[in-house]
Structure 1
């Protein structure tokens, strides 16, 4: 009984089995046929157009540095401030247009209570402050 048509006798066949390759190629072809129509959909984007008479940007206002210590004390630009006074001062800053509002840079101690930080963020958001950031000062 002969297992190969090879005339050399017992040597293994050196032919490559291409059936798995054809199967993979057919699967890839089907995937590309399904996904190709999805790539042709157009998305309209309204990009800003440049203006010729554009004024140079003004210097941004100095940021407000708000420090929250471990015991919950608040310091606005290195000056101690109570929570109610902070809210009143933030209301003054929030009354300005968004472009002229200073950024609030919050530097909370790693061990400060979350409630104090959350209350400050809530107050700033409720009065209308738009630019709020956090500082990471590793000491």
Structure 2
């Protein structure tokens, strides 16, 4: 029998190892080799024994829902562009960044504008 106590494995892990072991024995491996390979497979797939649930099992579903909602709100805020007190920093932005801001402010004709024209249109839009 392979080394190690199997008491810390879940019933599901034990059943899986037994099934894998039977499969190896059916292919002609010795009982010891089949058992050894079966437990190695279970360990590789599940990370060993004494696992409660899985990753994130300590996080309640309401906490997960709140975290997802907060994440979505942050993402939406990022897509809107940033509030600006003065137009002075417009020149330092890339054309792509100006284009994104013009899109969020629904400035017409922005796709054919130059960087200078985008800066001017954004200043007018406020």
- Do Structure 1 and Structure 2 share a fold, with TM-score over 0.5? no
> What's the TM-score once normalised by structure 2's chain length?
0.30
Q: Normalized per residue, which structure has more strand?
A: 1
Which structure has more relative contact order (CA 8 Å, sep 6+)? It is 1
Q: Which has the higher helix share?
A: 2
